Structures are given as structure tokens and as C-alpha cells.
Amino acid sequence: MLVELSRPALAAAVGALAALLLTAIAGAPNVAVALAFFAAFFVASSVDLLLHGRLTPVGRWRSGGRATPNATLATARAGITAAPFDRFADRGKRVLALAQDEAIRMQHNYIGTEHVLLGIIRDGEGAGGRALAEAGVTLEQARVGVELTIGRGASIPSAAEITLTPRTKKVIELAIAESGHKGVGSGHLLLGVVREGEGIAAGILESMKVDPDALLRRTREKIAEGLD
């Protein structure tokens, strides 16, 4: 593979080539000198590798420093560290994956509180989904509410382009606080959405005449029943 060498390694390589050319022109190859220059070349290359930790690809192999996105929800590209997601239960992670799917479906390049709400509804089986169902909230109604409020994007984004909005980050912080020592589930995320109170999701719930205090109480009851 072609590599980009440091200046010491490059100088040694040029010296080795010069030695070979001189000995060839003189017609009396000096094997010892040629071997010495080749040794210098390989030693310099090794030092270069140890100092930099890599040999830098050149030409079409150069990566440009961009990481290859994962197929699953990537927390780094979503704008937060991986550490908070260690606190998430499987259902909580599923809700966020569904929220990302809803964002892509609506051609939005971000995950807002409205997408988190749609993810909770789509999951359906957790404390959050059950509480919303009992409050009369359906996926179809919520999707219509989102599209009427903010519309659709201009083009379908790639998963690597999607980030979390500041309000969604706040929702996640509130959900983690609500979960205590348990893993964050759909119920905790719904509590975060309602407690945040100013995002598009809260506005959609208000337009559906959902009482926030009653929804908080119902969601906490579902969590107490053992739903996540």
C-alpha cells in the first residue's frame, strides 16, 4: 500500500536510491554502503510508525478523518456522548431508534421532541405507549399534528446527518433523572417530554386536549406496575 512518510524517512529513502545510482554509474557496486542506506531507510520508517502510530494512506485510500457511521443509532453523531445511553433500557433505546426513523420518514435531519413522542407511540407496549393510548393519543393523529406544525423536509436525510435538538437533549436529561437507578424506558422518556413542556410534542399533546398532570400521573402508575 502507498504510504506518506515523515521527512526523516523520506530523506533516508532518497539517500538509499542515490547510493544505488552512484554505485551503478561507477560500475563497482559498494554493497556495504547500499545496505547501510537501506537500513537507515527502514529504521527511519519504523521510527516514523512508532511516533505517529500509523502509516498515513495517500491517494484514493485517504479517509479524510471521517468515521464510518454505524448502522444503529449513533450517539456521537446525535450530538451527545455515549455515556448517557448506558443508562437506557432496551425499550428506551428502541424508542429513540423509532424516533430517528420517524425523523427520516418526515425528511427531517434532527430528532425533536415530536419525533420522540412518535417513537413512544409506535413502540406501544411500554409505560409511555400505554399511558398515551389510554389518553386517546394515536399515531395517526400525532403524525398529522407534527406535519401540520412543522411540515416535511425537502429531502430524505442519511442517518449520519441526524442530530438531537437541545430540547430533546433536555428530555433525555429529565428521563434519566426520572429513572433513578433503573434503565430509562419509554415511560421515563414520556415523563421527560411532558415535564420539558415547551417543545413541539407538548404542543401537539395540548392540541389533543391531553391534560399534562393526568398524563404524568398515569405514566408513573404504569412504571410502578413494572412496565418500562
pLDDT per position as a tens digit, 191-208: 999 999 889 999 999 999
Over residues 52-72, the mean pLDDT reads 32
**From CA 9, how far away is CA 7, in angstroms rounded?**
5
Asked if 126 contacts 95 with a C-beta cutoff of 8 angstroms, the reply is: yes
What's 70's DSSP letter?
Answer: P
The grid coordinates of residue 13 equal 529513502
Q: By C-alpha distance, which of 101, 52, 48 is closest to 73?
A: 101
Could you tell me which CATH number the domain at 83-224 has? Answer: 1.10.1780.10
Please say if the pLDDT value at position 29 is more than 70: no
User: Residue 111: is its pLDDT beyond 60?
Assistant: yes
160: part of which helix (H) or strand (E)? none
**By C-alpha distance, which of 185, 205, 207, 183 is closest to 194?**
205
Q: What is the pLDDT, as a whole number, of residue 31?
A: 54
Q: What is the DSSP letter of 156?
A: P
Given a contact cutoff of 8 angstroms between Cβ atoms, the answer to whether 4 and 63 are in contact is no
Q: By 3-state DSSP, what share of the chain in percent is helix, strand and coil, each rounded to 5?
A: 65, 5, 30
Mean pLDDT for all residues in the chain: 74
pTM of the model: 0.64
Q: Shortest CA distance to 114 belongs to which of 184, 207, 223?
A: 207
Give the alpha-carbon dihedral of 181, 184, 185, 186, to 10 degrees.
Answer: 130
Take residue 56 and report the three cell numbers written for it: 498515513
The region of weakest confidence among 22-26, 164-168, 186-190 is: 22-26
- Single out the residue of 192, 208, 66, 52 nearest to residue 139, CA to CA: 208
- Per domain, the residue ranges of the chain are 3-61, 83-224
